[in-house]
Amino acid sequence: MKRSLKNLSILGLLFITVFTLTKCSNSGPATSRLEVRLTDGPGDYQEVNIDIQGVEIHTDGGDPSNGWKPLSIKTGVYNLLKLTNGLDTLLGSIELPAGHIEQIRLKLGTNNSIKVNGVTSPLNTPSAQQSGLKLVIKTDLQAGITYKLLLDFDAARSIVSTGSGKFNLKPVIKTTAEATSGAVKGIVAPIAAAPAIFVISGTDTVATSYADQTTGKFLLKGLSTGTYKIEFMPKSGFTAKEKTGVNVTVGTVTDLGTIQF
């Protein structure tokens, strides 16, 4: 594998950038990324507008009052009928410690409404739903993998007519979680080689990382299913290496074992 001095210089600068930006995350606990998305099944209405004010994930299977992690989301009113036929919208995402997650809590505001036959009416929302509508997930997250958690809001079953043009909101929501990425991991030896690591697809670099300065371990996340080349650019005094034909599958972490320099 040959590279020009110019390319090596560029790689050196990139190595410094990668090292600076990712040192803290690589040396910390193993994490997974969770994206929370909202979708809806069709309903016999013109609009179903839901005021979403907060989303939290519960990560502690023991005490139900602890372990809630808030997502940074775009709060506001979502018209569920724009999210039918396979469409969804991203509410927010969060990095979580790998492991088991139990529940999601959806906090609703008071600005909920429904439009029927051209007439918009308020949706009465119980105070318990405003403080937090809890939904069961019970999913295990693997380190290095990105997951999509889909909240499927059944508008047809969630709206209850009380007569005289009044409606109550009693949310019926199905949750499903699925992996959307794969990853590659391994360890370098000796640790002093401290290589920058590049995932190559064709002629494109699709992911970069570095080997941890203490353990020699590395993890390259967010990869689609496919076959990749992994390039290792170590410090001066060590010879660059590459691995070709590395197969990655969504939902799994491919282990390269030890890369010896």
DSSP single-letter state for residue 62: S
Structural domain for 102, as ranges: 31-179
Whether 226 is in a domain gets the answer yes
Say if residue 211 is in the same domain as residue 226.
Answer: yes
What are the pLDDT tens digits along the chain (261 aa)?
444 434 444 444 444 444 333 433 444 468 899 999 999 876 678 899 999 999 999 886 555 667 788 999 989 999 988 888 778 999 999 998 888 898 899 998 889 999 988 999 998 887 666 668 888 888 899 999 999 999 998 888 888 888 777 888 888 899 999 999 999 999 999 999 999 999 999 999 999 998 998 999 999 999 999 999 999 999 999 999 999 999 999 999 999 999 999
Domain C-terminal end among 155, 179, 203: 179
pTM (predicted TM-score): 0.79
Which H/E stretch holds residue 156?
A: helix 155-158
Query: Are 120 and 114 within 8 A, CB to CB?
Result: yes
Nearest alpha-carbon partner for 18 in 224, 257, 211, 184: 211
In sign, the C-alpha dihedral spanning 140, 144, 145, 147 is positive
For residues 185 and 147, membership in a common domain is answered with: no
Q: What is the domain count for the chain?
A: 2
What per-residue string of b and e applies to 142-163 under the rule 16 or more CB within 10 Å gives b? Answer: bbbbbbbbbbbbbbeebbeeee
Q: Are residues 100 and 45 in the same domain?
A: yes
